[in-house]
Structure 1
Amino acid sequence: MKHIVQRSAALAAVAALSMALAACGGGGSGEGGDTAASLAAKTQFNPQPYESLKDGGSLTTAITEITPQFNTFQTDGTLYTLNVWRWYNPTLITFTADGDPVYNPDYLTDVKQDTVNGNTRITYTINPKATYNDGAPIDWRSFESTWQTSNGRNQAYFVSSTDGYDRIASVTRGVDDRQAVITFNGIDVWWPGLFNVLLNPKATDPKVYNQGYINNPHNEWGAGPYQIQKFDQQNGTIVFERNPRWWGKRGKLDTRTFLTMESSAAINAFRNGQLDIVAVNSQNDYAQVKTQPGTEIRKGPSLQLDFFTLNGQSPILSDPRVRKAVFESIDRQQIVKFHFNGLDYTADPQGSMNLLPFQKGYQNTFDQVIRYDPEQAKRDLDAAGWVPGPDGFRQKNGQPLRFTYVNTGDDVVGKAVAGGTAAMLKNVGIQLDIRQVPSSDYSKIVTGRQFDMFYSGVSQGDPYGLAYICQMWCSNTGLIKSGLNDPKNDALVRSVNTLPTPEEQYARGAEAEKAALATYGVMPTVNLPAIYAVKQGLANYGAGRFYVATPETIGWQK
């Protein structure tokens, strides 16, 4: 699935499950004159075998927020939810930098794919040692509970994404309890993106699923090389330690800590040695860390794209003519420049919400729907009855054409995007008020839809971006907060993943995305590079493209 992320110094330590929201990020490091094309195949995460790592030590990173919702499957979960979740819950499938699936032998001893009567069937054989922290076995029932809560058939579950799970016909017991047999309706080409992580069967009650994880991580329902040592909700801190119940390779780190911080605070914390790695979001950030002793810069493509969201439930923005005019007023080339101002990095504006520019099947569908044209925006507003007033701002029946843009955190790029967008809209007679709030308000703003206009990012968690097209564009999505996804497009969107080949899905997906973008709810802007300042010696961590490390393999090189 995809997860939302917000702009901040938060570091996506591992890839997200499907897609997730996050803060919009910054720019490049200013080294080497990189372009999006030159970074597409690049990774820098210091890959090291387990045996080359020291025993002991700690890892401390910043995170924008410890998201109140600890259930990564629930609709209010973000990328930050998943980054924490994977340190103390089962991680069955990870990926190489190139996107090849890797099955974790501590949980899965065998994975077999076959086709039966035209239906994809996957058989997972589970390690007999695998148990949750409360002593319950990890068996086929965990696959069943993950499917039943995520397939969309029970509306009591507020699920982040049903994509893929809704195409499963059955999850059954295999030769014994330690084998799960997954049978799809028809062919499924993206199946390795499912069951990367599991939901404990004890969380299947809808009230527990939706509310039981709020500010309660439920360490006893987890499993893996680490467990929670301390969760300090008030101060935004969570610390992990080795799990004495773990049956696999011992974690190399003594402790792993997430600290809630604003972007500028994180840079300062890295400089004074409090953090071991930090995201480099601007030229100013890079200038502060590039000469730090014992520091290296790790750079590669990110899985994140930034985008604007318009709240269609806002009275003024409920008119599609106004929304269209807003997007026609925004120069996406200028938004790209805000991200990379003064840096030796260039990229074209992002043209799709489904796929990233370096992925097969990518098309710039946005430019096929709407283009930067402030004069057309003025004509659209004229036609909608909004006329310029004495101060240059438009009004209608005595009401000003005015709404609010919420900006979270103190990231300089985020502030530049907010101010620049206000200036562009002013040019066509729209008054945009910027409301600045701390990063800690991010989940509240997003989940409560407390904005008229918002800028954030979405992060892919695996190589199968098109597998989550419904999470992005279906009318019941929990990911996109515009409230504008049209039910009339649902049949077209849902048909994409029923096609038997990736190539057919790419073509149908572009058609579906164009129809969805024509509701004028979201505007993609830029796919960011991933750039981190890292203390030398940190292994299996950094800019890895699709690479995901299991927690026990992260540590310090000997």
Structure 2
Amino acid sequence: WWGNKPKLDKIVYKQMADTAFQNGEIDAVEAYTKDDIKAIRSVKDAQLRIGYSTKTRVLEYNGKSKPLDDLQVRKAITQAFDVNTYNNVQFQGLNWKAEQPGSELLLPFQKGYENNLPAEAKYNVDNAKKTLEADGYKMGKDGYYAKGGKTLEISFTFFGDDATQQALANAYQAMMKKAGIKVKVVNVAESKFSDTVSSGNYQVLPMAWQAASAMTFVVSAPQLYTSDGPSNFTYVGSKKIDELVKKAGSLSDYDEQTKAVNAAEKEAFKLYGTIPVSNPASYLGAKKGLANYGPSGFAGNLPQDIGWQK
């Protein structure tokens, strides 16, 4: 062993229910909901440790499905998306102020991060209506836009029976209605997530990306934004974006890499296939005195450094 002298003799892994923390059987537990946090705070001598996660929540628009095969419709639903209201619902009770990030490749605390969203992507219901009207849509008596006798309708898919996810779907439906866009909410079992994504059986899909390391953006760019990228669930792209991404992959200098991927992402966002929504927090409940364990971004928690404060 060539590392630092470990503070523990051994580490035991055991699958247990989260209630084990409340029962004093384990020393730390991750939290994801306001109920999880409430449970942690009910434990004597427990601490709630909060930090940035390396996750980015996004909305994916299926660009091969009608009417989202129309760039102007994708642009309009982006302009009609009230991201602040959406995030307030997402993080209610979690004591986390989530600002909309401008990238799905680099996190706001990373060197080289830029806001790559187009200026026209900002929330503005009037602009959303103008975009649709310039695209040939007309407002109907029912309060929804239509073209060629067909009402503008899209679907919003969410998974499972979590109350927050249902509330997010309802909020999205309500904000689109303000812009004259009809939304059908589709609820699918959690077990069907992979099948739904891989088959493209969705239109507006909330999901998230997880960055494994500070350099993940180098491999994420071609996966997310190239025309045939394996994680391009928007199904939109261009030769220009492919070339910019390829250029980024050929560079070895960090500053040049971030400059190149930012340029590629700016072009990708102009296609309105996907938008970043938030960077959630990472929460951990821990017994008082547990050292070197908790939210740590890309640094991770080295097992040999975990121990108890003297």
> With structure 1 as the length reference, what TM-score do the two structures score?
0.50
Q: 1:453 aligns with which of 197, 204, 226?
A: 204
Q: 352, 360, 374: which is aligned to 2:125?
A: 374
Are residues 1:358 and 2:113 paired?
Answer: no
User: Shift in Å at residue 270 of structure 1?
Assistant: 5.5
Partner of 2:218: 467
Partner in structure 2 of residue 16 of structure 1: none
CA contact (8 A) 2:63 2:235 kept: yes
Inter-CA distance 535–404: structure 2 relative to 1 (3 Å threshold):
farther
Which residue in 2 is equivalent to 1:281? 32
Give the letter aligned to residue 250 of structure 2.
T
Aligned residue among 314, 322, 332 for 2:73: 322
- Contact 2:227 2:239 (8 Å CA) reproduced: yes
Distance 1:51 1:492, change over 3 A: closer
1:503 is aligned to 255
Larger fraction in strand: 1
Aligned mate of 2:8, from 53, 60, 71: 53
Match of 2:152 in 1: 401
In the alignment, residue 257 of structure 2 is paired with which amino acid?
Answer: Q
| Distance across 1 between alignment mates of 2:95 and 2:84 | 16
Q: Distance in 1 between matches of 2:48 and 2:35?
A: 14
Query: Structure 2: which amino acid aligns with 1:357?
Result: P
1:348 aligns with 2:303: no
Tell me the amino acid that sits aligned with residue 299 of structure 1.
I
Letter in 1 for 2:77: V
What secondary structure sits across from 1:317 in the alignment? Answer: coil
Cα deviation for residue 332 of structure 1 reads: 1.9
1:292 maps to 2:43:
yes
CA distance in 2, matches of 1:274, 1:401: 54
Q: Greater shift after overlay, 287-296 or 514-523?
A: 287-296
Contact 2:50 2:283 in 1 (8 A): yes
Which segments of structure 1 move beyond 4 Å, counting only runs of 4 or more?
266-278, 535-541, 552-558
Tell me which amino acid in the other structure corresponds to 1:52. K
The equivalent position to 1:529 in structure 2, one of 257, 271, 281, is 281
Q: Which amino acid aligns with 1:292?
A: V
Q: CA deviation at 1:538?
A: 6.6
Give 3-state SS (helix, strand or coil) of 1:365's partner. Answer: coil
Percent identity of equivalent pairs: 29
Aligned residues: 305
Contact 1:540 1:553 in 2 (8 A): no
Specify which structure has the higher proportion of helix: 2
* Structure whose CA Rg is larger: 1
Q: Which runs of 5+ in 1 are unaligned?
A: 1-48, 56-251, 260-265
**2:79 and 2:120 in contact (8 A); partners too:** no
Equivalent residues in 2 for 1:406-421 (5 A)? 406-421=157-172
Q: How many Å separate the matches in 2 of 1:269 and 1:426?
A: 44
1:291 maps to amino acid: S
CA distance in 1, matches of 2:26, 2:187: 26
